[in-house]
Each structure stands twice: as C-alpha cells, then as structure tokens.
C-alpha cells in the first residue's frame, strides 16, 4: 500500500505536470494567470460566493426531499446544507475522488442512517449528472441549429453522445433499485456471504436496495427539478467568475457550453493535488473551441480554479464547523 506521503507527492506531481502542459499548449505565462486573478476584483468573487451558498442550500433541500421520500424525518436543512459544503471540500482536497464518499459520513453525524445516506449520495450525483448532460445536450443542439459555432467540428457528435448519456442516466435514476439488486445478487453468488464482513456487506446492500425502491417517481421528479436549479446556478457562477477573470463575451450559450464542458472534464479521475488537471484542461479546450485565444483560455481557467478553491475552502470550513457543533449536541 502506498504511504500517504508518497500519494501526496504523486498528486502534486500530477498537478504540476498538468499546469506545465497547459502553459506549453496555450503559450501562456505565469504573469498571465496573475493578471487574470488581479483583474477579477472583489465583486465577482463575492457574488459567486453567494451563489455557491445558494447551491449548497439547494442540495440540502434536495437531500431533505429524498430522505423524506424514504420515510425518514430529515434533519434541519441547515445541517444538510453544511453536509453539502463539507462534502464538496472533501471531494476537492482528498485524492482519487475518495472525498465523494464522505457525504455519507457527514449525514451520519446529523442522524441519517448509513443506507439512506448512501442512497442520498447516489441519487444526488446521478441527478447532478443527468441535469448536467441534459444542459450540455441542449446547448450543443441549440448551437448547431443556430449555426453560431460552425468551427466546432465535434458539436453534432457531442450532442448525440450527451443525449444518449442523458437517457442512460434517467434510466439509472428510475431503475436504481434494480441495478443495486443485480449487483448484490452477483456478489452473493461469489460466496462472500459465508464470511462476517461479506455477510454484513450483503445485508447493507439489501437495505440500500430497499431504500432506493422506496423513493417514488414523483419525489425523483421534484429532486430533478431542484437539480436543474443547481446546474443553472453553477453555470451562472462559472459565467460571473469566468468573465471576472477575463473570459471574452461569449453569450449565454457559449458560457453554458464551456462551463458544462469543464465540469464534465472534472469527472475524469486523473486530476492531481486540489483537483488540478482534468478540469483545467477541459476548461482550456472547451473555451478555445469557442474561439477564445489559447493563452487566455489557459490563464482564465487556472485563475478561475484558484478562486473557486478559495470559495470551496470557505464554505467547506463553515460546513465542517457546523457539523462538529451538531455532533457535540447529539447524545
């Protein structure tokens, strides 16, 4: 097993290599990144800090609705909002995206059963991906139909791929219980149930499957509506902060396309320290495809990521503090 110090060293090396590759590809300089940071000023940063707070609140409301649909009396929305903020910080800081799983632990601290926390995590991420891919599909189709960006040769294939992904994610959301049931059955046939840990894992899988099946479609539809609001708020935040660091005028469609492309890139698990890597490459490539000069695309992407991490740290620290206080108050 790799020691923690070695993992951190590898993560930092990946991040530095990604930045060096971007600077070489775009012809940007460190001074360009600094200029983009200085150009932003306080007001875009403060505005997006408020939008990020709204995003965490919407995620808390979504979790409350999903937990209520599973038969739980959900914790206060403030606790669920704090869990979301702490979770996003963990997913950015911890390597290999293992921080994604911490939402279950944070929800447990405020009284949510682990199996319901797992279902909340699964449905939250599936709904986020569903609305993101649907938004990307809509933006790509609109740009192709309006012929506003004919120079993007991959626009039509991208729209088709995103449309297919949206359909697959919608099916996974509606049939999540069946998918977990199939996985649990396949695992049981391996004989792991003869061992103590395996038996507990299978039993936990039964509870997760039951919780997934208990969520009615009307609750999923409401959660999808909230998720659409989350995606819209993220796109607005990216547009405000991206314009603040120096992105040229691209219009709503262009900003939506570039923001969604960058978020999709961040899902590729090849990033290094503080999530630097795939997101920044996708940002640079996506906005360069829209006609932004390569050096500007690279500089604005790295400047945006820096300011975004500061905001994630602010909200995440607040979330961890509230969760710690809530845990001390619980018996």
Residue 80 predicted with pLDDT over 70: yes
pLDDT band, residue 302 (cuts 50/70/90): very high
Closest-CA residue to 219 (of 149, 127, 316): 127
pLDDT at 114 over 90: no
Tell me the pLDDT band of 7, cut-offs 50, 70 and 90.
low
Query: What is the percent of the chain where pLDDT is above 70?
Result: 81
In this prediction, residue 241 has a pLDDT band, given cuts at 50, 70 and 90, of very high
CA 142 – CA 158 distance, rounded (Å): 12
Average pLDDT over residues 48-68: 94
Q: Which residues contact 169 (CB under 8 A, 6 or more apart)?
A: 126, 129, 130, 133
Band of pLDDT at residue 192, cut at 50, 70 and 90: low
What is residue 303's predicted lDDT score, i.e. its pLDDT? 93
Q: What is the pLDDT of residue 265?
A: 83
pLDDT at 186: 60
Whether 14 contacts 273, CB under 8 Å? yes
Residue 135 has pLDDT above 90, yes or no: yes
- Mean pLDDT for the stretch of residues 14-26: 81
**Torsion angle defined by CA atoms of residues 221, 226, 231 and 235, in that order, rounded to the nearest 10 degrees:** 140
Average pLDDT over residues 257-277: 79
Cβ(121)–Cβ(101) below 8 Å: yes
pLDDT for 60 beyond 80: yes
pLDDT given at position 215:
73
How far CA 219 is from CA of 55, 56, 68, 114, 327, in Å, comes to 19, 19, 9, 20, 29
Domain residue spans in the chain? 4-329
The rounded distance, in Å, linking the Cα atoms of 208 and 231 is 26
Mean pLDDT of 256-281: 81
As a whole number, the mean pLDDT across the chain is: 83
For residue 214, is pLDDT > 90? no
Residue 312, pLDDT above cutoff 70: yes
Residue 1 is predicted with a pLDDT of 44
pLDDT above 50 (res 243) = yes
Report whether 67 contacts 211 (CB < 8 A). no
């Amino acid at each position: 097993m790799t020691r923690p110090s070695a993992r951190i060293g590898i993560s930092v090396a990946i991040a530095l290599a990604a930045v060096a590759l971007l600077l070489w590809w775009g012809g940007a300089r460190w001074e360009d990144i600094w200029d983009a940071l200085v150009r932003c000023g306080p007001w875009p940063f403060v505005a997006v800090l408020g939008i990020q707070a709204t995003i965490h609140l919407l995620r808390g409301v979504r979790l409350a609705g999903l937990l209520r649909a599973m038969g739980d009396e959900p914790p206060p929305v403030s606790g669920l909002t704090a869990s979301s903020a702490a979770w996003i910080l963990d997913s950015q800081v911890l390597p290999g995206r293992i921080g994604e799983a911490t939402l279950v632990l944070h929800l447990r601290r405020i009284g949510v059963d682990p199996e319901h926390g797992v279902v909340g995590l699964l449905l939250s991420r599936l709904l986020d991906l569903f609305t993101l891919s649907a938004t990307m599909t809509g933006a790509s189709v609109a740009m192709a139909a309006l012929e506003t960006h004919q120079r993007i040769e991959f626009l039509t294939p991208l729209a088709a791929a995103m449309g297919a992904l949206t359909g697959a994610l919608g099916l996974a959301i509606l049939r999540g219980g069946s998918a977990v049931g199939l996985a649990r059955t396949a695992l049981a046939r391996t004989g792991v149930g003869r061992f103590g840990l395996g038996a507990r894992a299978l039993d936990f899988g039964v509870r997760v499957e039951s919780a997934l099946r208990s969520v009615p479609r009307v609750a999923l539809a409401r959660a999808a509506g909230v998720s659409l609001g989350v995606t819209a708020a993220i796109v607005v935040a990216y547009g405000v902060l991206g314009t603040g660091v120096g992105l040229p005028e691209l219009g709503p469609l262009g900003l939506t396309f570039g923001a969604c492309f960058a978020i999709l890139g961040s899902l590729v698990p090849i990033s290094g320290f503080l999530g630097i890597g795939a997101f920044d490459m996708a940002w640079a490539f996506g906005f360069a495809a829209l006609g932004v000069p390569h050096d500007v695309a690279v500089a604005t992407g790295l400047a945006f990521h820096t300011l975004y991490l500061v905001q994630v740290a602010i909200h995440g620290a607040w979330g961890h503090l509230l969760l710690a206080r809530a845990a001390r108050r619980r018996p």
